[in-house]
Amino acid sequence: VTVVGINTSTQAVYRADFSFTYSRVGSATATAVGAVATALNVRTSLTAGTWGGASIALSTNSVIVQVQGLAATNIDWKCSFNRIQCV
């Protein structure tokens, strides 16, 4: 998962890449396989290091991407998924 946030007034950019694996077998709840998802290759420009932030959480069978912005500021967030495999 790649998360990119752009401050629409200053053009400051926050970007983080995540690599993780979750598995769900049968009717069981999904669980993390290996390490928990953490932000990798975090890159920022201008002041984005002071407001940017992203995390991945698992809730039942949903993968939740949470982002952190800046109060009273428009941040244009984009999230892309590099690969989803269902077996």
Q: What is the pLDDT of residues 16-70, one digit of tens each?
A: 998 888 888 888 888 888 887 888 889 999 999 898 888 888 887 788 889 988 8
Strands 40-44 and 13-17: antiparallel
Tokens of 24: 């769900």
Cα 19 to Cα 2, 41, 46, 61, distances in angstroms: 9, 10, 25, 18
pLDDT for the residue numbered 25: 82
pTM of structure? 0.78
Asked if residue 24 lies in contact with residue 62, where contact means CB atoms within 8 angstroms, the answer is: no
